[in-house]
Amino acid sequence: MDLMKLIMWFLLGSGVLLVLVGIWVTIHYLFSPHLENPDGKARITGSCGDTMELYLKFKRDRVAQSAYWTDGCTYSHSCLRATADLVKGKTPDEILYIDADLIQKAIGGLPKDYMHCAALATETLQAALEDYILKSNT
């Protein structure tokens, strides 16, 4: 009978934990900055499982606003935040020079095992820029 109680408490605790994690993810997503009608946007999921979203708003061919969201680790968050900051005030041509090395330097470096986070931020940025270019050419 004690084993049944232990199993029940474990299941109850697991269920409560799942609900709390779900609430946290929902709140995190809802309160992350988003741009209304972005000129360029991208959502990329890397091979590590992290998803990054980047939104760009242009004014006079320069990034006036940027916003981001990720469900990834601290390193993914730092890389994407740095990317969103690096693009502000830049033209599309200047954005092309933002790469994983520049991003990792902007956050003070990354462990080798997490360089993929900067690469994923770069890929997301280039996809958002491509989205902007495609929309502006139509």
Window from 8-22, 35-49, 78-92, 105-119 with minimum mean pLDDT: 8-22
pLDDT of residue 51: 96
| Range 47-57 average pLDDT | 95
Q: Which residues of 52-84 are buried (b: 16+ CB within 10 A; e: fewer)?
A: bbbbbbbeeeebebbbbbbebeebbbbbbbbbb
What pLDDT, in 10s, does the model give residues 65-77? 999 999 999 999 9
Tell whether the model's pLDDT for residue 9 goes beyond 90: no
Q: How far apart, in whole angstroms, are the C-alpha atoms of residue 102 and residue 97? A: 9
Q: Return the residue matching tokens 């959502």.
A: 43
Query: How far apart, in whole angstroms, are the C-alpha atoms of residue 1 and residue 73?
Result: 41
Residues constituting the chain: 138
Residue 33 pLDDT class (50, 70, 90 cuts): low
